């Protein structure tokens, strides 16, 4: 009996009935257009925030270098997904034959950069945890050289652990019938490598953000208690409390940025494990549907810079000043925070 269904039972282009080809082509063209638009938007917003960090001096301190690196990985991921979309569309719409090792190279770069992005988010969480729990040692423990070493470690872990799969060890890169490049593990060790690179950064960020928020709430409660006990403190104590409140707000703002970014990333990546775990037959039986799941992955690299811009008033103010050409790279004094007096609490941890 001839299968005249356009449903998930058709797993290759050759098995699609003729009257379905037009519909499939339209859906594929729509997917390609959506991917192109999202890639351009994601790269644009990441570049905008990266320019703000590079041109305004105070934003480069503290977590600035890690955030800048996170934005760079977002730009690279936008480029990788653009290449991926072009390869898929060229394979299916233009019938261009690709080299046998194209998926190995392209998807290795995409996977490694994706893992580097995740480990950078974990490094940001560790940075904020140190800033909140050990403020007196923050500058010595998170200096420029240490931060650069953390960034290098992120790339080493991401690309080093996936490298054996390029040679068929622990896993393999291959192309689906629709030309989508995919990484498939072929051993328990390969599955563990992918699981560690995927879930450990998420767990690290969630623990760090929870600890930061908890520490800040404890400080606020302690301050209110002392205010109730001593309603008329000395002027020096008042200045210290004001500085502490400013510091807590800054810490809470950055923690909120990381928390929202983390939740948004989880939301964007959630459909894939749900489909694989609960609807595996539908997932494996519909290659076109698997292509649309890539849209969710790409959305996280568009959402991260937007979340940072929305949550950080200083970023928005700096962007407005740059757009109005009121600030130059060599004249950042307008945005440099005043130094804390020597006699105040040494909790001026930059963010």
Distances (CA, A) of 292 to 28, 271, 280, 335: 9, 10, 15, 43
- Encoding tokens for residue 104? 């190995």
Per-domain residue ranges of the chain: 20-158+201-335
Map residue 173 onto helix, strand or coil: strand
Residue showing tokens 């977590």 = 63
* E strand or H helix at 69: helix 64-92
Give how far Cα 340 sits from Cα of 92, 97, 140, 242, 335, Å: 61, 63, 18, 11, 15
Mean pLDDT per 10-residue section of the chain, whose length is 351 residues: 47 50 80 95 96 86 88 96 89 70 91 95 88 79 88 96 93 82 89 92 87 76 57 57 64 77 88 78 79 90 93 88 67 39 35 46
Cβ-contact 112, 76 below 8 angstroms: no
At residue 98, the 3 state secondary structure works out as coil
Q: Is 174 helix (H, G, I), strand (E, B) or coil?
A: strand
Residue 297: strand, helix, or coil: helix
Q: What span, in angstroms and rounded, lies between the C-alpha atoms of 136 and 68?
A: 24
The predicted-structure confidence for 196-239, as pLDDT tens digits, reads as follows 998 999 899 888 888 887 877 777 677 665 554 455 555 655 56
SS3 label, residue 270: coil
Sequence-separated (6 or more) residues with CB below 8 Å from residue 121: 70, 201, 205, 258, 261, 262, 265
* Predicted local distance difference test score (pLDDT) of residue 158: 96
The predicted structure's pLDDT at residue 236: 59
pLDDT of residue 17: 52
The answer to whether 57 and 332 are in contact (CB under 8 A) is yes
Question: Does the structural domain 20-158+201-335 have CATH classification 3.30.70.980?
Answer: no
Determine the pLDDT at residue 239: 62
pLDDT in the model for residue 200: 93
The position carrying tokens 């950064």 is 201
Buried b (16+ CB within 10 A) or exposed e, 264-274: bbeebbeeeee
* pLDDT reported for residue 161: 95
C-alpha span between 290 and 272 (Å, rounded): 9
């Amino acid at each position: 009996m001839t299968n005249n269904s356009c449903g998930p039972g058709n797993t290759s282009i050759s098995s699609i009935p003729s009257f379905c080809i037009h519909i499939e082509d339209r859906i594929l063209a729509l997917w390609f257009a959506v991917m192109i638009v999202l890639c351009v938007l994601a790269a644009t917003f990441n570049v905008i925030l990266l320019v703000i960090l590079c041109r305004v001096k105070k934003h480069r301190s503290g977590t600035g270098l890690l955030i800048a690196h996170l934005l760079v990985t977002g730009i690279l991921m936008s480029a990788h997904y653009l290449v991926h979309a072009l390869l898929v569309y060229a394979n299916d719409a233009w019938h261009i034959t690709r080299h046998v090792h194209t998926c190995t190279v392209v998807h290795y770069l995409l996977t490694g950069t994706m893992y580097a992005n995740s480990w950078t988010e974990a490094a940001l969480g560790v940075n904020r945890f140190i800033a909140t729990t050990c403020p007196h040692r923050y500058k010595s423990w998170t200096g420029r050289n240490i931060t650069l070493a953390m960034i290098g470690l992120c790339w080493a872990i991401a690309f080093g652990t996936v490298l054996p799969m390029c040679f068929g060890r622990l896993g393999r890169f291959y192309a689906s019938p629709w030309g989508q490049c995919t990484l498939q593990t072929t051993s328990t060790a390969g599955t563990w490598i992918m699981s560690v690179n995927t879930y450990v950064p998420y767990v690290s960020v969630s623990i760090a953000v929870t600890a930061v928020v908890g520490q800040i709430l404890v400080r606020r409660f302690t301050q209110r208690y002392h205010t109730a006990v001593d309603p008329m403190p000395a002027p020096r104590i008042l200045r210290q409390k004001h500085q502490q409140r400013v510091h807590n707000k800054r810490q809470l703002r950055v923690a909120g940025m990381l928390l929202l970014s983390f939740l948004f990333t989880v939301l964007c990546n959630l459909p894939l494990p749900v489909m694989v775990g609960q609807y595996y037959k539908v997932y494996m039986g519909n290659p076109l549907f698997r292509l649309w799941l890539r849209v969710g992955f790409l959305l996280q690299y568009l959402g991260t810079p937007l979340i940072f811009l929305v949550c950080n008033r200083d970023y928005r103010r700096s962007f407005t000043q740059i757009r109005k050409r009121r600030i130059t790279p060599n004249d950042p004094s307008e945005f440099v925070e005043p130094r804390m007096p020597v006699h105040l609490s040494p909790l001026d941890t930059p963010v």
